[in-house]
Amino acid sequence: MKLSARNTLKGKVKQLIEGAVNTEVIVELDGGTEVASIITKESAASLGLAEGKEVYAVIKASNVMIGVDH
């Protein structure tokens, strides 16, 4: 796989939460950090996603927001 995105994180599907239209995919990275993504149910099925499957979280964004505690 070759992509233009610079931030590609390898992990395993920890949990799939199916909704009426979309599926929330929780990916656990090495070290236990989790990344969540919401994709269409059709995409999740097409990718054959299942808990424990090795996947890549690909992050390509023109904006990254930063927040702080009050």
pLDDT at 63 over 80: no
pTM of the full structure: 0.83
- How many whole angstroms separate alpha carbon 15 and alpha carbon 54? 12
Q: Convert the pLDDT of each residue in 7-42 to its tens digit.
A: 889 999 999 999 999 999 999 999 999 999 999 999
- Number of residues in the chain: 70
Three-class SS of residue 43?
Answer: helix
Would you list the domain boundaries of the chain?
Answer: 12-59
| Residue 53 burial (10 A CB sphere; 0-12, 13-18, 19+) | middle
Task: State the CATH class of domain 12-59.
Answer: mainly beta
Least Cα distance to 59 among 35, 31, 28 occurs for 35
| pLDDT number for residue 65 | 74
